[in-house]
Amino acid sequence: MRPVALTPLFASAQSLAGIGPRLVLLLKKCLALPPGVSEPRVLDLLWHLPTGVVDRRAEPSSRDAVPGSIVTLKVRVLKHKAPPRGNNKAPYKVTCEDDTGRIDLVFFHAERKFIETQLPEGEERYISGRVERYGETLQMAHPDYIVPPERRGDLPMLEPVYPLTAGLSGKVLFKATRQAIERVPDMTEWQDAAWLKARQWPDFKTALNRLHRPEDAQDVSNGAAPWQRLAYDELLAGQLALGLVRQNIRAQRGRSISGDGLIRKRIVAALPFKLTNSQITALSEISTDLAATHRMLRLLQGDVGSGKTVVALMSMAIAIEAGAQAALMAPTEVLARQHADTIAPLAEQAGLRIALLTGREKGKARDAVLERLASGEIDILIGTHALFQSDVVFKDLAFAVIDEQHRFGVHQRLALQAKGSNGGTNVLVMTATPIPRTLLMTHYGDLDVSKLTEKPAGRKPIITRKMPVDHMERLIDRIRVQLAEGAQVYWVCPLIESSEQSELAAAEERHAHLAQIFGNTVGLLHGALTAKEKDTTMAAFASGDLKILVATTVIEVGVNVPNANIMVIEHAERFGLAQLHQLRGRVGRGSRESFCMLLYKQPLGVTAEQRLTMMEKTEDGFLIAEKDLELRGGGEMLGARQSGEPGFRVAEVPGFEMLLSAARDDAKLILATDAELASPRGQALRTLLYMFEADEAVRLFRAA
Ligand code: ADP
Ligand code: MG
C-alpha cells in the first residue's frame, strides 16, 4: 500500500487553494501527465519544473535603473492620467516617483478600476517589471507585480519561469507549486549518504524547494545539483522497478524446455538459405535459456532484414519438440498475416500446425481456432494483440515471441506471460529498432540480449540519395527505366488526405499523379482501407501485378517483398532517423541493386540535413540509432509514448548516461543485498518507488 503520508500528493490538483475546475483544465493541457492519468494531481505540479528564473533582485533608485532591465522599485504614486475619451490606442499612465526621480507606469487597454485600486494616489507601492526609456522619461509598461509595502513578501525576488499555456499564468503556478511542496511529507532519505555528499546533492524536499523557490539563479538548471538529484531519484526508481520485475520473473520457476532437434532439422532442410552465424548463436542462446529452470525473458535485437523471423520459428520449434505450444505476436494485422504466410510453407514441411488469430477472425472461424488451440491441435498461434483476449486459452503455452516490441507496453507483455501454464511462459521479444545501450538500460534494465549483427549473405548495399522534391520529374524518368527492367517501387507519403493548410504530400494525390504516368500498375495502401483491401493490395504488390505501391507509413513495419528495390520517401525531412531506417529496410532484400530516394522540401533545416546525410552515409542501424538519440532524444525513438511506457519527468538532463549507469549499478547492489527492500533504506526506497509511480514493480511486493 502507498504510504498514507503520500496521499495528499496524489489528491486532485483541485484540492489546492486557488485551483478550480477551469484551472484544472488548463493544468491538464500544460502538465505532462503520466499515461493513464487523466486529471492533474498535486504530485504532477511538483514535476512541472521551471525553465529559468526572472531575477527581480535589482532594487536601484529610479535614477539608476538600467533601461531594458528588470527591477523592483519602491515608489510613491503621484497622479493618474487616463487616455482621452474615444482614444483607446493611447495608454493609461500613472506617474510615480522616488527620491531620485520619476517613472511612468503605462497600461494599454487598461481596466481603469483595477489600476485605481492597485495604485491609489499618494500611496507607496513596490513595483517590479522591465523598465524602458521613452524619450526623457523612464517607463514601466504593465508591471509584473504591484504590492503595498506590507505585502512585500508576496513579490518573488527570484521568480521561477514555468512552461505555460494560454490562460494559465506563472503566478498561479507559483502559488500552486508552493502548496504542493508544503504537502511533501518528511521522508527518510533513500539515497546513499556518501553518494549524496560526494555529489553535493540536497535532500529530496530541499531539491524541490530550490527549483520551485530558487534562491539563486543557478538553482534552476537541469545541470545543477537540485535537478540532478531529482533526475537521479527518477532513474533509480526506474532501475529498481525493472530490477524487481526481472527478479520476480527469474524467481518464478519456469519449466525446462528442450527438444530432440528433429523439427528444427526439418525447418533447416526446408530453408532456401544457410543460417548466418549470428542466427546460429542467437538460437543457441535461446535454447540454453529455454532449457534452464528459470523463466526466460530475452530480447532479440536485429536490424531490419537481419532474419529474425527464422530465429523465431526455430525457437518456437523447440517448444513444440518439447510437446508444448508457442505463440507469435505482431503489432499489426498486416505483419501478423505476413508472418503466417512466411512461416506456413516451412511449417508444413516441418509438420507444424499453425493458425492465425487477429481482430478479423470472428464468429465460427474464430471459435474453431480457439477450440483447436485449447485441445492442442494447434502448435503455433500467430496473431496480433487479439492473442491477449481472455477467451484465448492454450492447452499448454510454453513460449511466446513478441515481434517489434517497441509497439507494446510492459502491461501487454505481462498479460501474455500470464497465459502460460506450468510455471509461466518463456518470452522472447524481438525488435527491429536497434536500441542503443542507454535506452536498453532505461527501459529494460539488464535484460538478456541476443543480437543479429550480420546481414544474410548476398545482400547488396542500398544506394541512398537525398533530393529536393522539385527534382521529382527526373526521379520519375529514372523509375521508368528501372520499371522496364522489372523493378518495383515503394513510394511513401506521410499523410492520407490532403488538406489545404498542410503542405504534406498526400498519398491519394501522389497515387493519382503516378497512375496518370504509369497506369494501373500503381497501387495505394493506407490506414483507412479495410483490412481486406489492404491484403488485396499487398498481395498484388507481392505478386508483381502492382509495380509501384504508394503508401502511408503503414508499410513501416516488417513488410517483406524481396523484389522491391526502390524506396521513395516524400518529405523525408519530417521523419525521424529510426523511421527512415525502418522504411529503407523494406528494400535491398533481393538480388537487384537497390535505391532509397529521400525527397525533401527546401529549405532544409540543420538537423534535418544532418539526418538525411547520415542516411546517405550509413546503413548501420546501431550507428543510426545512436545518432537519432543524439538528435532527438530517446523516448520518441522507442515509441515510448504510444506504447504506454512511462517517459521521464525530470531525468532528461546533461550527464544522463552517467547518472543512468550509476543508478543501474546502485539498483543492482541494492537488490543483491536487500531483495525484498526490507531494510530501513529498503523501506525508504519503497517510498521512492511510489513517488515515481513505479507501480508495476510495487505491485510485485504488495502482498509482502
Ligand atoms: P527481419 O529481421 O527484418 O524480421 P526477416 O526475418 O523478415 O527480417 O528476413 C528478411 C529476409 O531475409 C527474408 O526474406 C528471409 O527469408 C531472409 N533471410 C533470413 N535469414 C536469411 C539467411 N540466413 N540467408 C539469406 N536470407 C535470409
Ligand atoms: Mg521482421
CATH number at residue 305: 3.40.50.300
Work out which ligand 1 atom sits closest to the CA atom of 276: 23
Residue 66 has pLDDT above 90, yes or no: yes
419: nearest Cα among 381, 449, 450: 381
588 lines ligand 1 (CB under 6 A): no
295 and 244 in a common domain: yes
Specify whether 134 is located in the same domain as 250: no
Same domain, 111 and 236: no
Where residue 504 falls among pLDDT bands split at 50, 70, 90? very low
| Per-residue pLDDT at 117 exceeds 80 | yes
Looking at the structure, do residues 504 and 564 belong to the same domain, yes or no? yes
Taking the CA of residue 312 as reference, the ligand 1 atom at the shortest distance is: 6
Smallest CA-to-CA distance from 96 within 50, 56, 143, 34 is with 143
What is the pLDDT at residue 416?
Answer: 56
Residue 631 lies in a domain: no
Q: Is residue 633 part of a domain?
A: no
Q: How far is the CA of 560 from the centre of ligand 2 (A)?
A: 8
User: Which of 268, 271, 273 has most ligand 1 atoms within 8 Å of CB, for mutation?
Assistant: 273
In a domain, 238, yes or no: yes
Which of 155, 179, 195 marks a domain boundary? Answer: 155
pLDDT of 646 reads 43
- Which segment, 145-149, 415-419, 426-430, is predicted with the most confidence on average? 145-149
CA-to-CA distance for 427 and 16, rounded, in angstroms? 45
Question: Has residue 35 got a pLDDT over 80?
Answer: no
* pLDDT at residue 260 tops 70: yes
Task: Determine the atom of ligand 1 nearest the C-alpha atom of 304.
Answer: 3
Query: Does 13 reside within a domain?
Result: yes
Structure confidence by residue, pLDDT tens digits, 601-628: 988 888 788 889 999 999 888 788 777 7
Out of 599, 618, 637, a domain closes at: 618
Q: Report the run of H or E that residue 78 belongs to, with start and end.
A: strand 70-81
Ligand 1 atom at minimum distance from 306 CA:
2
Q: Specify whether the CB–CB gap between 570 and 502 falls below 8 A.
A: no
168 φ/ψ sector (left φ>0, alpha ψ -120 to 50, else beta): beta
Cell numbers at 218, concatenated: 543557478
**Listed residues 155, 176, 198: the one ending a domain:** 155
- Angle at alpha carbon of residue 699, lines to 695 and 704, rounded to 5°: 140
What pLDDT, on the 0 to 100 scale, is given for residue 579?
Answer: 79
**Is ligand 1 within 6 A of the CB of residue 590?**
no
One domain, residues 16 and 99: no
The maximal CA–CA distance of the chain, rounded, in angstroms, is 99
C-alpha 210: how far from chain center = 28
pLDDT in tens, 145-163: 999 999 998 888 999 999 8
pLDDT at 634: 41
Closest C-alpha residue for ligand 1 atom 18: 307
- Answer yes or no: do 210 and 303 share one domain: no
Q: Which pLDDT value is given to residue 6? A: 93
**Is 32 in the same domain as 82?**
no
Between CA 89 and CA 624 the distance in angstroms is 55
Domain of 44? 4-54+164-220
Q: What single-letter amino acid sits at 378?
A: I
Q: Which DSSP string do the residues of 465-527 spell out, in sequence order?
A: EEEEGGGHHHHHHHHHHHHHTT-EEEEE-SBSS--SS--PPBHHHHHHHHHHHHGGGEEEE-T
Supply the pLDDT for residue 32. Answer: 80
- The neighbourhood of ligand 2, an ion, using CB within 5 A, equals 558
- Residue 381 CA: distances (Å) to CA of 324, 339, 347, 357, 394: 12, 11, 12, 7, 9
The confidence score (pLDDT) of residue 243 equals 82
Q: Do 254 and 297 belong to one domain? A: yes
Q: Which residue has the cell 533530393?
A: 467
Is residue 226 a part of any domain in this protein? no
Q: What is the spatial distance between Cα 671 and Cα 281, in angstroms, rounded to a whole number?
A: 30
> Where is average pLDDT lowest: 37-51, 188-202, 369-383, 485-499?
485-499
Compute, in degrees rounded to 10, the torsion defined by CA atoms 680, 685, 687, 690. Answer: -160
Is 637 among the domain residues? Answer: no
Does 441 lie in the same domain as 332? yes
**Domain count of the chain?**
4
Angstrom distance (rounded) from CA 289 to CA 575: 37
pLDDT digits (tens, 9 = 90+) for 648-678: 778 777 777 788 889 989 999 999 999 999 9
CA dist., res. 296 & res. 671, Å (int) = 19
Same-domain check for residues 453 and 476: no
Higher pLDDT, 580 or 353: 353
The model's pLDDT over 166-221, given as tens digits with 9 standing for 90+, comes to 889 888 999 999 999 999 999 999 999 999 999 999 999 999 999 999 988 888 98
Q: Determine, yes or no, domain membership for 628.
A: no
Residue 91: CATH number of its domain: 2.40.50.140
559 and 677 belong to one structural domain: no
Task: Clarify whether residues 274 and 420 are in a common domain.
Answer: yes
Cβ partners under 8 Å of residue 368, min gap 6: none
